[in-house]
């Protein structure tokens, strides 16, 4: 597993989500919990973000019948 710590900018780039969307999804339990790195800094485990990305539903699963 990858134990690299990703900061907000890296997470937003990888997920395509805004900062506020990440916070909202995290509060709702729909996004991995951040880790407190210091008094004013947080990060996410790269493995947690990778697993979240792999478990996203495919955008093709909700297409209407042809």
12 contact partners, CB below 8 Å, separation of at least 6: 18, 19, 22
pTM score above 0.85 = no
Domain residues for 23?
5-56
Domain contains 17: yes
Residue 64 forms part of a structural domain: no
With respect to residue 66, please indicate whether it lies within any of the assigned structural domains.
no
Q: Quote the pLDDT of residue 63.
A: 52
Q: What is residue 32's three-state secondary structure?
A: coil
pLDDT score recorded for residue 60: 55
62 in a structural domain:
no
> Would you say residue 34 lies in a domain?
yes
Q: How many domains does the chain have?
A: 1
Could you tell me which residues come within 8 angstroms of residue 41 by beta carbon, excluding any fewer than 6 positions away?
7
Confirm whether 20 is domain-assigned.
yes
Q: For residue range 4-37, list pLDDT tens digits in order.
A: 999 999 999 999 999 999 999 999 999 999 999 9
Q: Say if 13 falls within a structural domain.
A: yes
């Amino acid at each position: 597993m990858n134990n690299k710590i990703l900061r907000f900018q890296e997470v937003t780039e990888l997920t395509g989500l805004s900062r506020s969307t990440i916070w909202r999804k995290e509060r709702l339990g729909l996004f991995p919990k951040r880790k407190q790195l210091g008094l004013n800094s947080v990060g996410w485990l790269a493995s947690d973000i990778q697993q979240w990305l792999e478990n996203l539903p495919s955008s093709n699963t909700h297409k209407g019948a042809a």
